[in-house]
Amino acid sequence: MTPILFDSNILVYAHNLDSPFYKQARDLHQRVIYGGLKAAVAIQNLLEFYSVITNPGIVESAKPTDEAKNLCLNYLIYFEVIYPKEIVFNTTLTLGQQKKVIGRKIFDVYLVATMLSNGIDTIYTNNEKHFEIFKEIKAINPFK
């Protein structure tokens, strides 16, 4: 069974008690932990997660860096962690050019290229519009 990639926002919601999606995101994490759902995260997701949960300008209850580090390391236990393969840079540039992507959206392209290089074609995200230009993958909002 191919895992579903959890986008960074799903990770943030699962650790942010102030999020309206907290309970649903925690439930998804519990399904992964107890074997009911096979999921993956990219290193990019973990870095984005760390960036958000330690930033008091984004989350009301920002985590201290030691707690954020431990939360990131816990993902290595229950989630498959995917890394960009050698081809990802060229794939990112090619997809970016084909899809006419500009600015910071290149990081979504990089995530898609990382997914594809690891044989993953589905992502859980609350930002499915960010991925609608990619017919190569399926973006699912688990909160709808």
Domain presence at residue 102: no
Q: Is 12 helix (H, G, I), strand (E, B) or coil?
A: helix
1: pLDDT strictly greater than 90 = no
Domain presence at residue 90: no
Q: Which domain CATH number covers 48?
A: 3.40.50.1010
Domain presence at residue 99: no
Dump pLDDT digits (tens) for 65-100. Answer: 999 999 999 999 999 999 999 999 999 999 999 999
Domain presence at residue 111: no
Q: Model's pTM, two decimal places?
A: 0.94
Dump pLDDT digits (tens) for 37-76. Answer: 999 999 999 999 999 999 999 998 899 999 999 999 999 9
Q: Is 114 helix (H, G, I), strand (E, B) or coil?
A: helix
Q: Which helix (H) or strand (E) holds 130?
A: none
Please give the residue range of the domain that contains residue 60: 4-85+120-140
Strand ranges, E, within 7-142: 39-42, 80-82, 122-124, 138-140
Structural domain total, the chain = 1
Domain presence at residue 32: yes
Q: Do residues 79 and 6 lie in contact, with contact meaning Cβ atoms separated by under 8 Å?
A: yes
Instruction: Report the alpha-carbon distance of residue 5 to residue 14 in Å, rounded.
Output: 15
